[in-house]
Amino acid sequence: MYKSYEDAYRRSLDDREGFWSIAGGAITWDKKWDKVLDDTKAPFYRWFAGGRMNTCYNALDYHVENGRSDQAAIIYDSPVTGIVSKITYKELLDKVSSFAGVLKSLGVEKGDRVVIYMPMIPEAAVSMLACARIGAIHSLVFGGFAPNELAVRIDDAKPKVMLSASCGIEPKGAIPYKPLLDKAIDLSKHKPEKCVIFQRPQVKADLTPGRDIDWMEALGAATSAECVTVEATDPLYILYTSGTTGIPKGVVRDNGGHAVALKWTMKNLYGVEPGDVYWAASDVGWVVGHSYIVYAPLLYGCTTIMYEGKPVGTPDPGAFWRVISDHNVKVLFTAPTAFRAIKKEDPNGDYIKKYDISCLKYLFLAGERLDPDTYHWASDLLSIPVIDHWWQTETGWGIAANCMGIEELPVKAGSPTKPVPGYDVRIIDENAKEVPNGSEGIIGIKLPLPPGCLPTLWQNDDAYISSYLSDYPGYYATGDGGYKDEDGYIYIMGRVDDVINVAGHRLSTGGMEEVVATHPDVAECAVIGVEDKLKGQVPVGFVVLKAGAARSPEDVSKEVVGMVRSEIGALACLKDITVVARLPKTRSGKILRATMRKIADGGEVKVPSTIEDPAVLGEIEEALKGIGYPRT
């Protein structure tokens, strides 16, 4: 379809409407759009305005009607419970139609909100698709979020119904969800009318009479529901992401542009075909789970994997290789953190030798910056293309990537390659002026954003503008800093607030991390900027050693300091390195650098609701004390 990456990219910017009109033809419409791009209310752009369709129809009914009834739609693989099951497209359609009937029987109608608080089980996908089927707007909240965080989301979305399960399951055991749900509803001002609870065998939840309904009992009395046509511009879901004020922002995703963009990416970005097995090793609670566990693979007719496990510990560092081998996975998409965890436990890749993973064609990594050391380790181990790509909750799909379905470009370690067609990515200064290639700046996307990106925030247009559009007029502000090299490759150096000012010199902590990560005994690292009375800020490094590291922590610290001085220069002045057992992370694997910075500065630390294990913050505090922080 495209002669080259450059051909596709230029077409996507020079003829936006023509480019996306062709992509839109892959979706089944109840009524074709009146206008591909409606810019009459800019900067609130709308894609496929006037078009009417149904996302669930395109993800399920369409495939059943066109010969995929018996193909697996979902493979559920749960090493924590020992369950592996396959759900065909026909079976999934039946489950979704029936549960959509449950929602209708509870009074849920087009435009109503439904909050889903679920672990990684097929019922989470069924819930999402059932809402889409009847035009309800779902907001899936990561299972295990603290009650206060869930309450904030309930008050913002104002759901008519809540959907949940009796528990989630981690390697350490079951986590009951119902007490968390009950507490959240007690805390929230808005009270949902009904809660439907899926009882898992590991924990039985106590149901509140008059409000709570057993999932299976409700299904037994349900009548299947047909698809409800919606406007392309109607919301499909709300996904809350962290806000700088501490109040989560409700990212809105529309139906039409979202379906068009995601279906387009499966072939053009990820290089898969209908019928292939695609695995996004993430969680349905995050944007990757929404886009690439549920919607995109099903829209394209692939088999998607729902994995209720970890990269290590369920039961060992060979967990991913086992899933790939067992289910004939063609493409794996996960976070660099997952591979760093595998690398730490199995630095020589011994576990991979136990499995035949010759089916795996590509490894895609995203969610945080892919350090060159992890890239090279994965590339050498797998001998397949390892593709770093960069995107955000707000965009819903890749901003920069090596588009394997269009043209495989040469890989440059440390870069997610070039902008994906549709994204006009520019490196700009604080006055929204472009800077030359090679110069660091702020990464902006020239408006309009392509289909599938957020059109606004839920019932808060003002916050949409102030959060993303007001700082650099004409641009969407990504919040990330970086540069383009002489070939137009993008390098993401981290959040803009990760650029530190040392004695008047702007230095990237991301650049220092790249150097530290190359040390042969370093499994993971983080560098943060800490307040300093003399220099304004100084960098402080945290290092996690590989299992069986050859050198002592003291030797590693000294060597790392020397490496940074040699590679970046004396200005970097990274003198303080502390070796720690682990880094504080969110449940999705992102390192909590801002929280570490507050601990080092002696500020008030609010434990983030997304943190995987709060106890690690105490470990970081003790490690910092050992090297003299916070300064008094």
Element (H, E) at 90: helix 89-105
Whether the bond into 450 is cis, omega within 30 of 0? no
| 3 state DSSP class of 303 | strand
Whole-number Å distance between alpha carbons of 53 and 59: 12
Paired with 168 in beta bridges are 175
Instruction: Give residues with Cβ within 8 angstroms of 519, minimum separation 6.
Output: 543, 556, 559, 560, 563
Whole-number Å distance between alpha carbons of 159 and 108: 9
Q: Identify the weakest region by mean pLDDT among 38-47, 240-249, 263-272, 378-387.
A: 240-249
Whole-number Å distance between alpha carbons of 615 and 581: 12
| 3 state DSSP class of 137 | strand
Listed residue (461, 435, 448, 431) closest to 395, CA to CA: 448
Give pLDDT tens digits for 556-612: 999 999 998 887 766 677 889 999 999 999 887 888 888 899 899 998 888 887 788
Token representation of residue 563: 């490496």
Fold match flag (5-309+389-482 vs 503-626): no
Give the count of alpha carbons within 13 A of 99, CB side only: 30
Whole-number Å distance between alpha carbons of 327 and 238: 31
Whole-number Å distance between alpha carbons of 303 and 73: 5
Write the DSSP assignment of 318-371 as a string of letters: THHHHHHHHHT-SEEEE-HHHHHHHHHH-TT-GGGGGS--TT--EEEE-SS---
Domain ranges of the chain: 5-309+389-482, 503-626
Give pLDDT tens digits for 183-212: 999 999 999 999 999 999 999 999 999 999
8 A C-beta contact, residue 527 and residue 535: no
**43-63 mean pLDDT:** 98
How do beta strands 303-307 and 362-365 pair? unpaired
Whole-number Å distance between alpha carbons of 21 and 422: 12
For 5-309+389-482, the fitting CATH number among 3.40.50.12780, 3.40.50.720, 3.10.129.10, 1.10.287.610 is 3.40.50.12780
Taking residue 606's Cβ as centre, other Cβ atoms within 10 Å add up to 9
8 A C-beta contact, residue 68 and residue 55: no
The Cα-based distances of 124 to 121, 129, 215 in angstroms read 6, 9, 12
pLDDT cut 70: percent of the chain above it: 97
Exposed/middle/buried for residue 577 (C-beta within 10 Å: 0-12, 13-18, 19+): buried
Compute CA 346 distance to the chain's CA centroid, rounded to the nearest angstrom. Answer: 25
Element (H, E) at 428: strand 425-428
Give Rg (Cα) of the chain.
Answer: 24
Task: Identify residue 299 by its one-letter amino acid code.
Answer: L
Whole-number Å distance between alpha carbons of 118 and 164: 5
The Cα-based distances of 591 to 16, 61, 299, 300, 481 in angstroms read 36, 40, 32, 33, 17
Q: Which of 5-19, 492-506, 592-606 has the highest mean pLDDT?
A: 5-19
Give residue 244's pLDDT. 46
8 A C-beta contact, residue 49 and residue 40: no
Token representation of residue 461: 């247009």
| 3 state DSSP class of 561 | helix
**24-38 mean pLDDT:** 98
Whole-number Å distance between alpha carbons of 241 and 251: 7
Task: Identify residue 164 by its one-letter amino acid code.
Answer: S
Token representation of residue 41: 């209310």
Task: Identify residue 331 by its one-letter amino acid code.
Answer: V
Place of tokens 């959040």: 495
Taking residue 85's Cβ as centre, other Cβ atoms within 10 Å add up to 12
pLDDT cut 90: percent of the chain above it: 81
- On the question of pLDDT at 246 being above 60, the answer is no
- Residue 245: pLDDT band by 50, 70, 90 thresholds? very low
Whole-number Å distance between alpha carbons of 97 and 93: 6
Tell me, yes or no, if the pTM score tops 0.75.
Answer: yes
Listed residue (468, 500, 515, 490) closest to 594, CA to CA: 500
Higher per-residue pLDDT: 233 or 565: 233
The Cα-based distances of 303 to 86, 203, 276, 284, 306 in angstroms read 10, 29, 6, 16, 10
Give residue 242's pLDDT. 66
| 3 state DSSP class of 266 | helix
- On the question of pLDDT at 331 being above 70, the answer is yes
- On the question of pLDDT at 427 being above 80, the answer is yes
Whole-number Å distance between alpha carbons of 74 and 327: 11
How do beta strands 194-198 and 235-241 pair? unpaired
- On the question of pLDDT at 447 being above 90, the answer is yes
Write the DSSP assignment of 205-233 as a string of letters: PPPPTTTEEEHHHHHHT--------EETT
Paired with 280 in beta bridges are 333
8 A C-beta contact, residue 8 and residue 401: no
Paired with 219 in beta bridges are none
Question: For 503-626, which CATH superfamily applies?
Answer: ANL, C-terminal domain (3.30.300.30)
- Residue 504: pLDDT band by 50, 70, 90 thresholds? low
Listed residue (162, 153, 151) closest to 188, CA to CA: 151
Local structure of residue 393 (DSSP, 8 states): T
Task: Dump strand ranges (E) for 181-312.
Answer: 194-198, 212-214, 230-231, 235-241, 249-254, 277-280, 303-307
Whole-number Å distance between alpha carbons of 256 and 254: 6
Whole-number Å distance between alpha carbons of 105 and 196: 12
Q: How far apart are the first and last CA of the chain?
A: 63
Main-chain phi, psi angles of 611, to 5 degrees: -65, 140
Q: Identify the weakest region by mean pLDDT among 260-264, 420-424, 570-574.
A: 570-574
Token representation of residue 65: 């009607």
Q: Identify the weakest region by mean pLDDT among 127-136, 472-481, 549-558, 566-575.
A: 566-575
Whole-number Å distance between alpha carbons of 342 and 528: 24
Whole-number Å distance between alpha carbons of 574 and 213: 57
8 A C-beta contact, residue 409 and residue 437: no
Give pLDDT tens digits for 142-180: 886 788 889 999 999 999 999 999 999 988 899 999 999
**419-447 mean pLDDT:** 95
